[in-house]
Structure 1
Amino acid sequence: MPTHRGGNLSGLSLQEFVLVGFEGELETRVLLFAVFLVLYVVTVLGNLTMIMVITLDVRLHSPMYFFLKNLSFLDLCYASVIAPKALVDFFSSTKIITFTNCATQFFFFSLLATTETFLLVTMAYDRFMAICSPLHYPVTMCPSACTRLVLGTYCGGCLNSIVQTSLTFSLPFCSSHHINHFFCDVPPLLQIACTNTALNELLLFGLCGLIIVGTTLIVLVSYGYITVTILRMRSGTGRHKVFSTCGSHMTVVSLFYGTLFVMYAQPGAVRSMEQGKVVSIFYTLVIPMLNPLIYSLRNKDVKEALQRLGQKHTVV
């Protein structure tokens, strides 16, 4: 087994990397381990609960909750790609990850992150059709159409992931095998490549910027029309319900897109990888944990479904 002493590689294969992660005294690592563990456990429980409630409650079998269930599934997988390995590495003496596992982790991370970006746009489109064109909504957002939209988000995520993974892991890594991060990501991998990475950086920021900025504009335009339609509503109760639902979605979009934009679509925004690690915690663990809380706490239908499920469990 290769060893890692004093920050140097001893017998490390060319097919292996070392994830530096968060360095510090034992007390610091214990604290960070506890934070990561709590975030991950809450993420798993929260998203599993959302999936279960939406699946079991017939009243939530609508396009909006179909997309929300898929969002919870993505968040669950998204955090699980990163957190378990990061938790193990807090007390590992080697922190080694093979080239294949690193590429696999990055592929699924990129796939799930990009898919979630497209899914949030799909959810905005769903709200736009429901509020601005209610008569056409049942036909436009029929079950088959919703399924095709979700499959389309995965296809878009897979395409971006294939491009990013193939470009990144075709680079030669000969200057260092220490990845200054707690998971395999493009920015720290580009830092240890021993070749000119200008093209990779251009494609990274260009493609990610196009996806993030493009989808953000679509969401903003959709909610612009939604806002105008809501303001024309005569019923104050109806306006409040719609604002509550749309407000939850906009909160999720702002948090997720904001952190991704800082990290991937704005060159120089993150001045060091230490700052990058902190930003990464937000979109890999904090946001997936917050999403089910945001939707459940601000959504009356979900809270009522949770109460009904709790009452059935009590009766049984």
Structure 2
Amino acid sequence: MRMPMSTLRPTNPAIAFAVAAAGVGTFSLMDAAMKDLSLSVGAYNAVLWRNLVGTLIAGLLFVTTGQGWPARDNLRLHLWRSFIVAGMAVSFFWAIAVLPLAEAIGLSFIAPVIALYLAAILLGEKIGREAILASIAGLAGVGVILYGKFSGHYSSEALWGALAVLFSAVLFAYNLILARQQAQAAGPIEIAFFQNLLTASVLALAAPWFLAPLVVAKIPMLLTAASLAIFSLLLMSWAYARAEAQILIPVEYTAFVWAVLFGWVFFDEPVTLSTLIGTALIVGGSLIAARVKPAIVNHVEMASA
């Protein structure tokens, strides 16, 4: 995902909203594809191979559109963000392999609330009453989902999966701040190419211990996941360049609806009442956070593509 650079060419808000909704749906479908890959080849291999394929696709776009080589400061930012994205992606995609998609997506919505506090720590910004209300609502939602998940019989993997989502959300919150800085200096194609390339390079450092051969039967799914990630990034970048964040922020949370649908269609996953209630509370907190600091939290999907 990435934050938009700025509003470039205003267009009909309804069109921008529809394009953003398509971007969220596309990204959610990528999550389902990555869950399938994570179940079959493991989260590390799924993320590494997806980024390698994404490098080829985004690299082709980078060359054919005549993108210039980024400045050294931009490269440094691309590299640092790739370390964060690598940890964020592996932990999240491992989590969705052991948790229902709807639960994982619902828990991940806590990230914008966390971003408010990271902005206070890293940028010296004041934590106001709205941020505290957002925190209360978000944490209450997390508590409801976790209570529903672990009040009955559950596996140890499910517990680690929930912790992995929350860990990923912390990294994701920091990623939102980095994405804002990155978007002010680079366009979506440059970001897509270098994020895929450098994230794959970072993950390759662990290849001697974790790399598994690519399963030929999974190549179509891998190509699908990589293409969906890049296509989603381009759709969201287009929408956020043409409409205000306050118009588009609510569309981010339709990801939960897509997660419910794709989890049910592809993995036969039920949705519990506690997940619905908890997600509603988390989304409420996130929307408060978006009203407080839209420049930081506006754009959830592009920060992880």
For normalisation by structure 2, the TM-score amounts to 0.29
Structure with the bigger RCO (C-alpha within 8 Å, sep 6+) is 2
Q: Select the structure that is richer in helix.
A: 2
For normalisation by structure 1, the TM-score amounts to 0.28
Q: Select the structure that is richer in strand.
A: 1
Higher radius of gyration, 1 or 2? 1
